[in-house]
């Protein structure tokens, strides 16, 4: 059951914000969808799922990325879930990089997080199933994201290569097992089992990938988090070791902000369109 919060016409399509009761997360959830003008009951369209970063919600990408015009031209829906479960009953932390707003797109196994923090199941199973039942979306999907959401896009795409046609990311956390953000989250959500950590680490997943998906990554070289948190060089090393072809573009002068995303989002949409429309 979907409840409409808002709807606005844009680029001849519709931006719609919904809430629903999530069974995967055991709480109400909000998400946003852009439906291009081509979408109809008789013409379900493919979708690009966008996963946002730490502290963000469904609104950041939809309001700041400037993606509607090109998505409308290409006939691609955009889906932006929230970044975590939310609510008074949902476990939280005082810091910005754990708890609400920082779900890390995994299934938590440790208390108090395990009661609600199953963002992996939400993004891969519950949300697509819900949207494909209630909106004019086909089952053809691609996935993208930024920072923590770039980590989510890479790991979800690599773990589910038959469910997504392509993957892209802006400034992703490439090796969370070996950076402060990832280590803090994994220790809290997953406990001490490093094998479980590896199942949500793109560098580890790519080593055992059985199917190759097209992957495009943009990374700004003026990103304050590049050296300590993001480690794209580790992902490229893992890909090279297994002959997994990844396109990594280092963009001079760009930082970690949505100004960076807005600059290159059209290129990412056109990249995905090649595979979504195949």
Question: Which amino acids are annotated catalytic?
Answer: 147, 223, 256
The upper half-sphere exposure of residue 32, i.e. CA atoms within 13 Å in the direction of its Cβ, equals 21
166 within 8 A of 272, measured Cβ to Cβ: yes
Residue among 64, 47, 55, 127 at smallest CA distance from 86: 55
Q: How far apart are CA 162 and CA 223, in angstroms?
A: 32
Q: Could you give phi then psi for residue 83, rounded to 5 degrees? A: -95, -5
Beta bridge partners of 16: 7, 33
Angle at 167 between CA 119 and CA 74, to 5 degrees: 110
| CA-CA-CA-CA torsion sign (251, 257, 259, 265) | positive
Non-local (6+) Cβ contacts of 146 within 8 A are 51, 52, 53, 56, 61, 169, 170, 171, 172, 258, 261
Rg (CA), the chain: 17
Distance CA 269, CA 151 (A): 18
Torsion angle, alpha carbons of 210, 173, 236, 77, to 10: 60
């Amino acid at each position: 059951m979907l409840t409409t919060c808002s709807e606005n016409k844009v680029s001849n399509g519709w931006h719609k914000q919904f809430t629903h009761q999530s069974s995967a997360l055991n709480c109400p959830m909000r998400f946003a969808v852009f439906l291009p003008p081509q979408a109809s009951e008789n013409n379900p369209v493919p979708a690009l799922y966008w996963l946002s970063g730490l502290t963000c919600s469904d609104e950041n990408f939809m309001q700041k990325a400037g993606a509607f015009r090109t998505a409308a031209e290409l006939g691609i829906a955009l889906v932006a879930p929230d970044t975590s479960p939310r609510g008074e009953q949902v476990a939280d932390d005082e810091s910005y990089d754990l708890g609400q707003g920082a779900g890390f797109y995994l299934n938590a196994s440790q208390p108090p997080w395990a009661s609600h923090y199953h963002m992996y199941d939400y993004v891969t199973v519950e949300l697509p199933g819900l949207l494909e039942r209630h909106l004019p979306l086909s089952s053809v999907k691609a996935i993208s994201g930024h920072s923590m959401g770039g980590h989510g896009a890479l790991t979800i795409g690599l773990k589910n290569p038959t469910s997504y046609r392509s993957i892209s990311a802006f400034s992703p956390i490439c090796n969370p097992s070996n950076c402060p953000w990832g280590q803090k989250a994994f220790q809290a959500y997953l406990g001490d089992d490093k094998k479980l950590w590896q199942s949500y680490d793109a560098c580890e997943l790519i080593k055992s990938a059985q199917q190759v998906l097209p992957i495009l990554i943009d990374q700004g070289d003026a990103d304050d988090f590049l050296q300590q948190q993001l480690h794209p060089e580790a992902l490229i090393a893992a890909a090279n070791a297994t002959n997994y072809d990844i396109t990594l573009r280092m963009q001079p002068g760009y930082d970690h902000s949505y100004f960076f995303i807005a600059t290159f989002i059209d290129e990412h949409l056109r990249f995905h369109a090649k595979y979504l429309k195949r």
